[in-house]
Amino acid sequence: MQLRMGWIIGVLLPALGVAPHAGAQQYPTKAIRLLVGNTPGGGTDLIARTLSQRLYEAWGHSVVVEHRPGGTGAVASVTVAKAAPDGYSLMIVTSSSHAIAPALQRDLPYHPVRDFASVALVATAPQILVAHPALAANSVKELVALAKAKPGALNYASSGTGTLGYMTAELLKSVTQTDIVHIPYKGTGSAVIELLGGQVQLMFSAPGAVIQHVRAGKLKSMAVASAKRPAGLEDVTTFAEAGYPAIEASNWYAILTTAGTPKAIVDKLNQGIVRAVSLPDVKESFFSQGYEATSSTPQQLEQLIRNDLAKWQKVVQAAGARQR
């Protein structure tokens, strides 16, 4: 009896040990869903659909884009957080949904790190500070001097409280110890229109929404909040070059899946996504919309989320902007 039991265990244990690895080698064997936390259209949707097509071409299984708008990505986030940890439920997230929203809101029904497995960074779009041409400052140094000389006299537009543009402006105020008044709008489009009309003086935005107006001379660029001058903005100084290296803010786009997903599956997803965003036509597609295709390891992405969450928590505290 003991010999028989030992034989059974000897057969079962190797089989159990090999099963997860074999599953990872075969993955994917069916359609994958890629959740987007907002409505169709716009940059996030473009990135998701581009990736879904390239992964389908690589693996022969559909990657179905599903829109689950609501709560700055909260609806989609909860869906993925509660999904089976098998790599068949993915989500495209941004700094807004997984760094700013958790910093702003006390009772989110998910944790941006613990409830997910980081897969890969796919794109970034640095914030650029633009101004109406009538503003009596042509550099960050001159802007800070003007704001200090006239506390509360300058204002900036945003597409809403809690957005990356708002948070970056509050970071600027915190770092430079200046008082600049926030004027929120319902969306980037209306904010840009008011800035063009001179109703407001300043705005942080993704390049895609404003750079054409800079090129046309209808707005002037002050600085870009990235570590180095990005492609297409080589003529715009960085905040670090202007003497404020702490002012760095990019809206990043990344892929996550459910916490507990086997590492071998996460690694295969990472390899497929990194390969996709390195394709020349994908880079060009992203660039045409104001995004820079990029990539990372899962570990680098997780660290990015942790770092940004800590950074924006400090900005929220300084601005007194916590919600709920």
**Mean pLDDT value of segment 170-178:** 94
Q: Are 162 and 29 within one domain?
A: no
Kind of pairing between the strands at 89-94 and 250-258: antiparallel
Query: In this predicted model, what pLDDT tens digit does every residue of 52-71 receive, in sequence order?
Result: 999 999 999 999 999 998 87
Cα 135 to its chain centre, rounded Å, is: 30
**pLDDT range class, residue 324, cuts 50, 70, 90:** very low
Please give the C-alpha separations between residue 230 and each of 160, 238, 296, in angstroms, as whole numbers. 25, 9, 17
- Residues 303, 256 share a domain: yes
Residue 263: pLDDT over 70: yes
Express each pLDDT in 212-240 by its tens digit. 899 999 999 999 999 899 888 899 999 99
Question: What is the radius of gyration, based on Cα positions, of the chain?
Answer: 23
Residues 6+ apart with CB under 8 A from 37: 44, 68, 69, 70, 72, 73, 74, 75, 76, 77, 91, 92, 93, 97
- Alpha-carbon gap, residue 211 to 265, rounded angstroms: 39
pLDDT given at position 1? 46
Is residue 11 domain-shared with residue 118, that is, in the same domain? yes
Mean pLDDT of the 73-86 span: 94
DSSP conformation letters of 199-262: SS-EEEE-HHHHHHHHHTTSSEEEEE-SSSPPTT-TTS-BTTTTT-TT---EEEEEEEEETT--
When pLDDT is cut at 50, 70 and 90, the band that residue 322 belongs to is low
Q: Residue 163 pLDDT > 80, yes or no? A: yes
Q: Do 211 and 266 fall within a single domain? A: no
φ, ψ of residue 293 in degrees (nearest 5): -65, 135
Q: What span, in angstroms and rounded, lies between the C-alpha atoms of 146 and 135?
A: 10
Which amino acid, 58?
A
pLDDT over 80 (residue 187): no
pLDDT band (50, 70, 90) for residue 296 = very high
- What's residue 160's pLDDT? 81
Q: Assess whether 56 and 148 both reside in one domain.
A: no
Q: Are residues 134 and 216 in the same domain?
A: yes
**Spatial contact of 247 and 315, defined as CB atoms under 8 Å apart:** no
Within a domain: 236 = no
Q: Is 233 among the domain residues?
A: no
Q: Are 88 and 30 in contact (CB under 8 A)?
A: yes
Tell me, yes or no, whether 244 lies in a domain: no
Residue 97 lies in a domain: yes
Domain membership flag for residue 73? yes
263-277 and 2-26 helices cross at what angle (nearest 10)? 10
Domain identity same for 175 and 97? no
Q: Which has the closest alpha carbon to 51: 310, 285, 305? A: 285
**One domain, residues 67 and 154:** no
Considering the domain architecture, whether residues 133 and 34 belong to the same structural domain is answered as no
CATH of the domain at 167: 3.40.190.10
291 is a domain residue: yes
State whether 101 and 135 are in the same domain.
no
Residue 16: per-residue pLDDT: 47
The pLDDT tens digits for 87-146 are 999 999 989 889 988 888 878 889 999 999 999 999 999 999 999 999 999 999 999 999
Number of domains in the chain: 2
Q: Cα 212 from chain centroid?
A: 22
- Domain termination residue (choose one: 224, 259, 282): 224
The predicted structure's pLDDT at residue 14: 46
Residue 230 inside a domain? The answer is no
Distance CA 37, CA 239 (A): 31
pLDDT digits (tens, 9 = 90+) for 243-252: 999 999 988 9
* Separation between Cα atoms, residue 181 and residue 158, nearest integer Å: 11
CATH number at residue 279: 3.40.190.150
Whether residues 140 and 65 fall in one domain: no
Q: Give the structural domain span for 172.
A: 128-224
If asked whether residues 135 and 146 sit together in one domain, one would say yes
| pLDDT of res. 40 | 82
Instruction: Say what the pLDDT of residue 323 is.
Output: 55
Cβ contact 90:119 at 8 Å: yes
Eight-state DSSP code of residue 229: P
Single out the residue of 68, 314, 40 nearest to residue 173, CA to CA: 314
Q: In this structure, which amino acid lies at residue 251?
A: N
Q: Which of 296, 282, 233 is nearest to 47 (CA)?
A: 282
CB 223 within 8 A of CB 124: no
Domain assignment present for 237: no
Cα first-last separation, the chain: 64
Q: Tell whether the model's pLDDT for residue 51 goes beyond 90.
A: yes
- The pLDDT confidence band at residue 22, using thresholds 50, 70 and 90, is low
The pLDDT > 90 percentage for the chain reads 66
